[in-house]
Amino acid sequence: MRVVLLAAAALAAVPALAQDAQGRNLAAGCAICHGTDGHAVKDSGFASLAGLDRSYLVEQMRAFRDGKRPSTVMQQLAKGYSDAQIERIAGWFAAQKR
């Protein structure tokens, strides 16, 4: 019985792990400015995204994408992401330790 329960728990975790990997992969492109796993270099002028609130990150990315928050680069980059991708990226950064 324990084996069945452990197997069921492991299988239930697979979709979450896949989404986590997708978020990580999508967020990898952000490292050039925002640092590895969202830890920007101190005094670089770029925001550290690690550990920020997920809903805040989603709101900001959508604002960049939709032209509601002006920027030099982020508006162009954000245009390439769907709502689902933005959700995954935000989830990844929110899960990182500050």
Residue 6 in this model has a pLDDT that exceeds 90: no
Question: Whose CA is closest to 35, among 19, 25, 47?
Answer: 47
Structure tokens belonging to residue 78: 């954000």
Quickly count: other Cβ atoms within 10 Å of residue 40's Cβ.
18
Please give the pLDDT value at position 40: 97
List of domains in the chain: 2-95 (1.10.760.10)
Mean pLDDT score of the chain: 87
Number of alpha helices (DSSP H) and beta strands (DSSP E) in the chain: 5, 0
What digits encode the pLDDT tens for the residues 68-83?
999 999 999 999 999 9
Q: Let me know: does 85 contact 98? Beta carbons within 8 Å.
A: no
Please give the pLDDT value at position 20: 82
Structure tokens belonging to residue 37: 């796993």
Instruction: Please name the residues in contact with 64: beta carbons below 8 A apart, sequence gap of 6 or more.
Output: 71, 74, 75, 77, 78
Report the half-sphere exposure of 93 (CA within 13 A, side-chain side): 30
Q: Let me know: does 95 contact 22? Beta carbons within 8 Å.
A: no
What digits encode the pLDDT tens for the residues 23-71?
999 999 999 999 999 999 999 999 999 999 999 999 999 999 999 999 9
Please give the pLDDT value at position 4: 47
What is the value of pTM for the model shown? Answer: 0.80
What digits encode the pLDDT tens for the residues 82-94?
999 999 999 999 9
Structure tokens belonging to residue 18: 């896949």
